[in-house]
Each structure stands twice: as structure tokens, then as C-alpha cells.
Chain A
């Protein structure tokens, strides 16, 4: 996993004779700490937003690279987790990302051709798939809000991340929960 790369002056992985261990600046420490704290949350969030693992990986990478740039410009987000979710959410819903994901979906489908056909296989994954399908029917803001809420973000943090007022966030989340509930009931998933 290369986790040791974040340690200062480490000898692992081995450096070549002409290389020097990179200096770990306070900024780098901050970013790497944020990465370890949030990468799993963010990757899971990005996956639920896009339902494509490669796209999710790209989104997380781009989000953290933007954090690097932000820090490099001397701006430090007050709430780095919420900031990352906001950036990732915006990236996930951007048009460019949409097209990329569409292409990737085609590849994913082609890969799926090798799987044994049977209705049992459908049932096995039905619940998670239905939940993700239900999320996909929601506007991106609403989807991001529900996922952030499930990750433990407060309503205020969600509103801040999405650039909305708390009142409109509350109303949006209620509508989204209700729509998701109806979808899940219709699809036979108890919720």
C-alpha cells in the first residue's frame, strides 16, 4: 500500500543513492493526515455517487489534488472533510465526469458478460444495487447529502458543503428520503 511513504526520512521503500528522502513539510503532513482520515469515506462516497470504481478512484484523486493546490495557495479549509466532500460531489456531477463515467459503464457491462446467468445472481446483489439505483434517481445534491449524512456529517456541515442554507438542506433531505423510501418500497427493499 505504500503507507510508509508518509514517514519522514524513512528508509523504506529504499531510496537510490542519489535520491534524498523528501522533506515532510507541515503542509504535507496536514494533507497526508487528511488523506488517511478521509480517503475511505470519500472513496465510498464517490463510488455511491458514480457506481463506478475507477471513476470513484479518479474523483478521490482529483479531490485530494485540489486540496494540495488549495493548501499550496495558502488557503486551509476550516472543515477539511466537508470541503473534500463538496469538491468530490461537484466533480461527480460535472458534465465531463458524466461522459467519462458513461464510457466506463460500457466497459463494466462488457466485463459482466462472463458471469453465469441466473436469477439467483440478481437476488444476491439486489439490495445494495437497488439502494444505489434509488440514490441515482435523486438529484446529485440530494444524493450527496444523504451519503454525507450516513457518513456522520451534521446537517450544518452538509449545508455548508453543498452551498445551501440549512432550511433548504433540511427540505431537500426530507424530499430525498421520502423519494428513496418510495423507490425502495416499490423495488421490494424494506426501508
Chain B
């Protein structure tokens, strides 16, 4: 939650923009009066320090050679401008004096332990086909001039103009119904189609999407918006999808909107450990989903104790696959293989009498995970199962996730430690967790150690079900 005092905003701005002495004094007084603001200001400063401490890396030798070669083979000195001649005189002197020391320091930095470079956190179950980049936003490059840039269908756009009107059709004529409320700066939109030129504007068909810090999408109208004023002043510009880092996991997907899932996973195969439950028939059952209707009616869940903020992740079966309802079952862990935004979604709706889907229906269909293969539970553990630790130094935690609130319990468990499973699975932080008691580890009050353990990493099991012979 953003603290509303203006002094937190000024404290943030003061890190990047110079304040006048008077403004600085005023800020200090306000921070003294508002402990939360002071705490936030300190947090922002600490963030800057943490970011500045991120590992420093050098470019590779190959890149260095390529740049050097490109620079040297560039323009000849005959064409050098007078400005460059002056600049060069100073720079060459500096280079000749400084290059040896610089090279030495670069070599020192290059010798840093490569392990200080962070790698992405792995998933505990098998190879997962990832979707978007590094969790990096799927952002269309933004025009540096501040112009509208080019909006593309199936991408995210951000409203930058005040009181932007959505309409039922492209154009400002009477046949184009005005929707309310206005869209406002910061609202995020999914671009369904466009541009269509009408009345000297470029129009795009958009659906608002939920995003942290923006208004709820359900309060906002879908429809056609003009992307810029006649003079080029942008009203909507390419925005950034807040995609989780790959590999995709169910907990992250649960926190996303339906169209966010489309943007972040479009066209990519997904392999998703999830707990499936029978839900309402929200798939394309009964509706025209292309040539063959999908079979809907399940919801994929993480069972995470951290409350998901997005739409329920609905799944449907691709009728062209060999998957049937028994493969999925209900209330059990499976690995779902499929894709979001199947081409058939463009012709589908979620029921009802409409001959063509509305934008909201379409968004729902595109956000379905359509499954074409299902792997059974890789662990085979349930409450009451006996299991054994099959790695060393396995950590027991108080809650089934990594992070604040999940305390680290002692001791670490050695390979061969017997476990009794009493809860789970829960899918969180990219792992599958089971609640266990450890009969060989008694706590001070005479009880057995009890907590949550992750079952595997990168497909390598950390615990395994005991086989009864």
C-alpha cells in the first residue's frame, strides 16, 4: 500500500532531483513528523544502495574486440570534424596515461567469482517451457520523443492522456456510442486490434486489464480509443506487461489477469505443475470454439497460502488431444501441458446466445489454458504417506514458501531421514511443498519437528515416497 503523504514522494524525488534548501528543510520537518514517511524514505535510500551493490560485470573479450574493431574501422580521420579533433587531443592524452591502470582494474574486476552472478531460481519439477523473457516486460520499444509510438495488437498499452474516451466503434460519429467512465493516465489496456483510421484518428480496440497500482479493470469500459491527438500528442502508448520471470509457475499465473497471461505466455508451450479442481463449466463447452469445442470446467490452483490477486486460472481440454477428464481428475497434483491464447479462442465464447463473442468473453477464452497433455503427480505423496529425505541439508520451514513469514526451522535434515507427510501439496515460490513431521527430531517440548519441505529442485527429488514392498 502506498503511503499517501506527499513527503514520501518528495523523499523519492530528492534522490534523483535537486531540492532547494527550503524544500529540503521542509522535507526534513515533515519526515520528523511522520515516522512512516521517514521509514519509507530510508527504504528508498537502502534500495539505491542495494541496487548499486549488484554484481559488477565486464563485457566479454569478444565484445571488446568487436567494439574496438568497429571503432577503428569506422570513419577515417580525413572526415573528422573540428570538434572531434579538439576532443581527441584531450582524450588521447587521457587514454595514453590511463589505459594501463584501467586495463589492470578491468582485469581485477573480471576476476570476480562468477558465482556472484545470479541465476534464475529453478523449479522443482522437470523442464518447464518458458514463455516470456526474463520476467522482463513484453514491452514494445517506446518512442524516445514521447510520441505515441506504434501500438501492436496483443500487447499492453498505457493510457497517458487524461479523460480518454472509449467508444463502441472507431470514430466520433453518433453511431459510435460513448462509454463511461473515462480512461485515465496509468490505466493499462490490452490491444485487441487496430489501428483503424477514422475521423483523422488512429483507433485501437482495447480491453482494460488489472495491474498493481491501477484501477480495477472491471470498472472500466472496453472499446475503441484514439491513440493520439491530431498534433501527435500521445493519449495511449506502448506499455509494459508485468510478466513473472520464467519458468512460469501456477502461483505467479494466479496473480495475473487473463490477458496478462496471454501477453506473457503467448504461443509458448507451458508445462505447469498445478492442483486442479472441478469448477463451473466456464470453458467453451456449448460455444463455438472453432471446429471442435474445448472441454472446460477445471480451475488450476496453487493452494498457496499467499492470497492470489488475479483471475482464477481456468483450463480446458483440447479435443484434438488424447487427454480425457480422468487424466485431470480433481483435487490432485498434475503437470499440465498446453498453451494460452489458442487460435480457436478467436472464434469462441463462454456460453450464452451471442453469435460472436464480446471483448470480455474473448479475453476470457484467450486466457484459458488449453491442455493437450497431462502428466500424473510426480511425487505420489499425500497426507499419511511415509517418505524419506533423499538429499542432504534439507531445510524445514514454518510455511510453504520462501520469504518473509516462512521461518527457517532447525535442524537441516540429512539424507535418509524418515518423514511422515501430514499436508500438502502446496505450489509456491516455484516449489512443491509438503507438510511433514520428522519422528527422529524431537523438539524441546517433546514433540516431533513439524514443518514444510520442498519436494524437489530441477527435477532432482529432495524427498521420495517410501515404497511398500
| Chain A residues within CB distance 8 Å of chain B | 1-8, 22-33, 35-36, 39-40, 43-44, 47-53, 55-57, 60-61, 64-65, 68, 71-72, 74, 76, 86, 90, 92-95, 97-102, 105-106, 108-113, 115-120, 122-123, 125-133, 135-141, 146-147, 149-151, 154-156, 158, 161-166, 169-171, 173-175, 177-182, 184-191
Contacts and interface: CB of A to CB of B under 8 A. Distances in A.
A135 to B, nearest CB: 8
6 contacts: A49-B136, A150-B51, A151-B52, A155-B13, A163-B143, A191-B50
Nearest to B65: A2
> 4 closest pairs, A vs B, by CB?
A119-B395, A188-B404, A26-B88, A155-B16
A182 B3 CA distance: 11
B413 to A, nearest CB: 10
Contact of A1 (B61, B88, B391): B61
Contacts of A150: 48, 51-52, 54
- Contact residues of A: prevailing secondary structure: helix
Interface string B46-80: 11101110111111111111111011111111001
A149 B139 CA distance: 21
A102 B246 contact: yes
Contact of A93 (B48, B139, B143): B139
B232 to A, nearest CB: 13
Interface in B299-321: none
Contacts, number: 368
A122 to B, nearest CB: 6
Interface in B95-145: 95-96, 99, 102-103, 106-107, 109-110, 116-123, 127-145
A173 B16 contact: yes
B84 interface: yes
B446 interface: no
Contacts of A68: 67, 70-71, 74
A7 B99 contact: yes
A186 B404 contact: yes
Nearest to B137: A140
A188 B405 contact: yes
A60 B63 contact: yes
B454 interface: yes
B76 A23 contact: yes
Contacts of A36: 95, 99, 102
A186 B402 CA distance: 10
A2 B392 contact: no
Nearest to A169: B16
Contacts of A156: 17
B47 A186 contact: no
A191 B393 contact: no
Contacts of B57: 40, 43-44, 47, 53, 56
- Contact residues of B: prevailing secondary structure: loop
Contact of B394 (A55, A118, A126): A118
B134 A162 contact: no
Contacts of B394: 118-119
Interface in B32-46: 40, 43-44, 46
A145 B112 CA distance: 26
B146 interface: yes
Contacts of A97: 133
Contact of A101 (B84, B136, B145): B136
A118 B245 CA distance: 21
Contact of B142 (A32, A141, A184): A141
B74 A6 contact: no
A156 B17 CA distance: 7
A185 B122 CA distance: 22
A65 B67 contact: yes
A29 B91 contact: yes
A31 to B, nearest CB: 4
A120 B83 CA distance: 57
A129 B51 CA distance: 11
Contacts of A179: 212-213
Interface stretch (B199-207, B323-331, B352-360, B457-465): B457-465
Given A61-B63, A173-B12, 10 more contacts: A93-B141, A105-B247, A106-B129, A109-B122, A116-B391, A120-B393, A131-B51, A136-B135, A170-B17, A187-B404
